[in-house]
Structure 1
Amino acid sequence: MTASLRGSRRRRPWVRVGLTGLALWVATVAVTVLTSNTNLIPTVVLLGSFLVPVTFVVWAWQHTDTGELTAGLLFSTFVVGGVIGILGASVLESFLLRPSWWLFLGVGAIEEGVKLAALAFVTRHLAHKSVRDGMILGASVGFGFAAFESAGYALTALFTTDGLSLAALVKTELLRGLLAPVGHGLWTALVGGVLFRASSRHRFTLTGRLLAAFVGVALLHGLWDAMHSIAVRGTLILTRGEQYTPTNSGWLVQPSAAQARLMPVLEWAGLGLIALIGVVWLIVEWRSARRADPTVSPRLSWNIAV
């Protein structure tokens, strides 16, 4: 191994974290298959659910603007913020949401709202609040939320009508791991930067820009969650005249060959477009952070002590 390669790895701890975690997860899955030892399943769930979120948090930490972001603060935002977010979302969604056309938009608004509140709570005493630090800490809260949520989905996938399915668990973790960077972490990073932009030493400020950013990320989140249903509707419209059997849940039970080909194309195209919008938005916010004015316009702000 050359000296330059070793130096590169030392400068990029996120690469070491990601590769080490991936190797451990693959080894655990392999040993579980070979030995049929169900005691290893929690390890598979935890490694698979936390691998990508933790790796991206380590990567984000290397791009901090100030010396305010300590390992302890990142740990707090990831774990405490993530758990507060997922508990708050679970309670509010169970009491406020019912099956309707607006269900997914409600989920987006609630989950982004509780993550933003968790971020504000954990970082309320942070002395210096730069925009980029807000984006990094927002991503940390979002990835914490995603990690705990993915663990729940993985466990749910494990239990099937035919018994425990390690294959379904692994498939769920792979899919959610691949999509994690353009999901919760991205959305909370966007609104976190705007939150820190509108802040003073120990006070966050509710501004028009913050409200607009929240509505934007909640809409992206809602559309992301609704994309399967949107793809189903789009498939039925574009293949009018084909034979199909719809259900109340929105799944195509007996799609034609054309429908079976078209629906995943529409779904993944929609997810790709949402991800692209989020990434472009993130790049614009990150590059404009250097020019951010720390003062808040009095015309669009209402002070809120947090």
Structure 2
Amino acid sequence: MAIKLTRVARAERTAEPHEHFVHLPTRLWKLLLAGGLVTWLIAAVVTEATNDTILVPTVIIVGSFMVPVTMAAFALSRRREGYLTTEEVVLGFLLAGTLGVVATALLETYLLPSASGTFIAVGWIEEFGKGAVLLVVAHQVHHREPRDGMVLGAVVGAGFAAFESAGYALQVVLENADRISVVAVLEIEAFRAVLAPFGHITWTALIGGALFASSRGGRFHLTHGLVLTIVGVVTLHALWDQSYGWAVMLTRGIVMDVGWQLLWPNAQFWAIPPTGSDLFWFNTIYDVLLAIWSVIGATWVVVAWRRYAAKRDDQPSSLPSGAERSMTA
């Protein structure tokens, strides 16, 4: 009898909302975005005016973390079951941004060839790294709902994107060590900030939803849905990374009329950077390709979110009546 009571008590604690379950107000992500943007621009202007290197980390950190943190807050404010704890959210963000980024960089350095094929391999390595972090944190979640999995995946992807963007911004600073190029830092951070919601955050959210949907009896299973989602996400990631090479190829073949160099995977780069109208068409083609992959990813996220919600509504509630009343109150 004591064992049965213990199990019931544990089930009720798992099912009922608790004060440490994370569900943020909708207005918070808006405040984070607005406040972060103002702080970022002020820090950039002051840094450019004073040429004070002490302010450079502020520009890098605020600019790199602004959109990923905003998107994490946005995901945590969505209406869902809400069984993620503060510990799980913070752990997912920090592990992805630290160990996840370091591990994937190490693997890419020593495992990838220097020629063709790198973009496909990068997709596998980075999604594997984020997926490993997601799996570690997901084992701490006792009540696994697919939409919570998507939110946790978005948080993991946000952590990875934030720290990665900070690295790219720092690289720009080091390349211009003789003079602080605030404009160059702003350009790379703004570009990555605009794309952040549609890259790592979207991809890991999709894997997180599929991972939680595969959970049965407290264990994760390698289901067809999970496998197809992983393959689809890696393909989308590879196409995203491949877009630069394709933009080079299309610009040279169509606009510059210097001949075609068809490679798959295509790893072309500019021997001499384009200028004038050639640069305009290259940027246009590159942006269009990224926009296509962004639309596909965003549409996939919306469809998956609604499908998981529909499945949840169709299933009979397994919560105790008291917990069910408290969630709908």
The 3 A distance-change label for structure 1 pair 196 and 243 is closer
Is 1:154 matched with 2:169? yes
Note if contact 1:190-1:213 (Cα within 8 Å) is conserved in structure 2: yes
- Asked if 1 retains the 8 angstrom alpha-carbon contact of 2:96 and 2:130, the reply is yes
Shift of the 256–41 alpha-carbon distance from structure 1 to 2, 3 Å rule, reads closer
Normalised by the size of structure 1, how large is the TM-score? 0.86
For 2:222, what is the secondary structure of its paired residue? strand
Quick one: distance in 2 between partners of 1:240 and 1:60? 43
Question: Quick one: which of 294, 310, 317 aligns to 1:275?
Answer: 294
Matched AA of 1:34: A
**Normalised by the size of structure 2, how large is the TM-score?**
0.80
Q: Provide closer, same or farther for how the CA distance between residues 38 and 261 of structure 1 changes in structure 2, counting only shifts above 3 A.
A: closer
Partner SS, residue 42 of structure 1: helix
1:258 CA drift (Å)? 5.4
Question: 1:81, 1:122 within 8 Å by CA — same for their partners in 2?
Answer: no
The yes-or-no answer on 1:193 pairing with 2:182 is no
Following the alignment from structure 1 to structure 2, what is the Cα–Cα distance between the partners of residues 159 and 237?
A: 34
Indicate yes or no: 2:133 matched with 1:118. yes
> Residues 256-271 of structure 1 correspond to what in structure 2 (within 5 A)?
259-271=278-290
SS of aligned partner of 2:216: coil
CA 1:256 to 1:151, structure 2 compared with 1: closer, same or farther past 3 Å? closer
- Whichever residue aligns with residue 289 of structure 2, its letter is G
How many Å apart are 1:66 and its aligned residue?
2.2
The aligned counterpart of 2:269 is 250
Change (3 A) 1:52 1:243: same
- Looking at structure 1, the residues matched to 89 and 79 of structure 2 have their Cα atoms a distance apart, in angstroms, of 11
Deviation at 1:257, TM superposition (A): 5.6
- In structure 2, distance between residues paired with 1:38 and 1:257: 33
CA contact (8 A) 2:88 2:141 kept: no
Aligned in 2, Cα 1:271/1:67: closer, same or farther, shift over 3 Å?
Answer: closer
Q: Give the Å deviation of 1:242.
A: 4.3
Alignment of 1:18-37 (within 5 A): 18-37=33-52
1:204-236 CA distances to partner (integer Å, 9 max, x unpaired)? 111122111111111111111111111111222
Instruction: Supply the distance in 2 between the matched residues of 1:151 and 1:257 (Cα, whole angstroms).
Output: 30
Structure 1, unaligned runs of 5 or more: 1-9, 296-306
SS of aligned partner of 2:283: helix
Q: Is the 8 A contact 2:252 2:259 kept in 1?
A: no
Number of corresponding residues: 283
In structure 1, the residue matched to 2:224 is 208
2:94 matched to 1:79? yes
Selected match of 2:117 from 93, 102, 107: 102
- Residues 110-189 of structure 1 mapped to structure 2, 5 A cutoff: 110-160=125-175, 162-189=178-205
Percent identical pairs in the alignment equals 38
What one-letter code is carried by the residue in structure 1 that aligns with 2:296? Answer: I
The residue aligned with 1:59 is: 74
Per the TM alignment, residue 122 of structure 1 is displaced from its structure 2 partner at its CA by 1.2
Which residue type is aligned with residue 178 of structure 1?
V
Q: Which amino acid aligns with 1:160?
A: E
**Matching residue of 1:231:** 247
User: Does 1:217 find its partner at 2:233?
Assistant: yes
Q: Residue 120 of structure 2 contacts residue 238 of structure 2 at CA under 8 Å; is this kept in 1?
A: yes
CA, structure 1 residues 260+50, in 2 after alignment: closer, same or farther (shift >3 Å)?
closer
Would you say the 8 A contact 1:242–1:256 is kept in 2?
no
Give the secondary structure class of the aligned counterpart of 1:206.
Answer: coil
Deviation of 1:202 (Å)? 3.2
**1:280 to 1:254, Cα distance in 2 relative to 1, 3 A:** closer
Match of 1:14 among 10, 26, 29: 29
Q: Deviations over 1:12-63 (max 9, x none)?
A: 1111111112121112112212222110111111111101001111111011
Find the aligned partners of 1:79 and 1:176 in 2 and give their Cα distance.
19
Query: Matched residues in 2 for 1:284 and 1:170: separation?
Result: 34
User: How far, CA to CA, are the matches of 1:75 and 1:287 in structure 2?
Assistant: 26
2-side partners of 1:86 and 1:249: how far apart?
25
Alpha-carbon distance in 2 for matches of 1:47, 1:83: 17
Greater displacement, 27-36 / 187-196 = 27-36
2:7 corresponds to: none
* C-alpha distance in 2 between matches for 1:116 and 1:270: 25
Match of 2:54 in 1: 39
Alpha-carbon contact 1:197-1:292 (below 8 Å) kept: no
Shift in Å, 1:255: 4.7
Give secondary structure in 2 for the equivalent of 1:12: helix
2:9 equivalent in structure 1 = none
